[in-house]
């Protein structure tokens, strides 16, 4: 018996059945279109009360996410391809933490991009009049 198995059976290491994990088979989820051409996503996790969510994003080559603000910390890890902005290119295996209030335009590389992003609150996108609208999930 492994140490982990023994610990699982010990009452002082009891589990919390009232707090189950959210387990998702991402391969079984459909890709959802966004209002931004060439950018689609799979919603892996969402807390509607706080706005926090995790998404798997797939970008066509050259697809662009227009000027937006990070309403709270955003964390992104690039799995395939690349993501380009004014700070450079995030290539596969790269991670970025975007601070609250930061703004940019993001664009997929010529190879497209597959990334996972974690949002404490949805990004805000600006229309021509400067009105901010949260990312629609």
Residue 101 above 90 pLDDT?
yes
Split at pLDDT 50, 70, 90, the class of 15 is confident
Taking residues 11-31, what's their average pLDDT?
91
- Please, how many CA atoms are within 13 Å of residue 53, restricted to the half-sphere of its CB? 19
Taking residues 81-105, what's their average pLDDT?
97
Residue 71 above 70 pLDDT?
yes
Residue 39 above 90 pLDDT?
yes
Split at pLDDT 50, 70, 90, the class of 4 is low
Residue 8: predicted pLDDT: 62
Residue 14: predicted pLDDT: 84
* DSSP E strand stretches across 20-102: 32-33, 39-46, 53-59, 64-69, 74-85, 88-91, 95-98
Q: Which of 26, 70, 40, 53 is nearest to 117 (CA)?
A: 53
Residue 105 above 60 pLDDT?
yes
Integer Cα distance of 98 and 129 in angstroms: 25
Under DSSP, the state recorded for 123 is: -
Structural domains in the chain, CATH included, are 24-134 (2.60.120.10)
The H helix count followed by the E strand count for the chain is 1, 10
More confident position, 65 or 15: 65
Taking residues 48-63, what's their average pLDDT?
97
Over 11-32, what HEC string results? HHHCCCCCCCCCCCCHHHCCCE
């Amino acid at each position: 018996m492994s140490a982990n198995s023994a610990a699982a059976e010990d009452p002082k290491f009891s589990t919390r059945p009232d707090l189950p994990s959210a387990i998702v088979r991402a391969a079984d989820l459909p890709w959802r279109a966004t209002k931004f051409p060439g950018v689609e996503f799979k919603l892996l996790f969402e807390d509607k009360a706080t706005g926090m969510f995790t998404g798997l994003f797939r970008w066509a080559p050259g697809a662009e996410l227009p000027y937006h603000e990070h309403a709270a910390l955003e964390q992104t890890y690039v799995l395939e391809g690349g993501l380009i902005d004014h700070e450079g290119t995030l290539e596969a295996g790269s991670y970025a933490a975007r601070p609250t209030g930061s703004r940019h335009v993001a664009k997929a590389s010529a190879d497209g991009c597959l990334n996972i992003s974690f949002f404490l609150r949805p990004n805000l996108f600006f229309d021509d009049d400067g009105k901010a609208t949260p990312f629609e999930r």
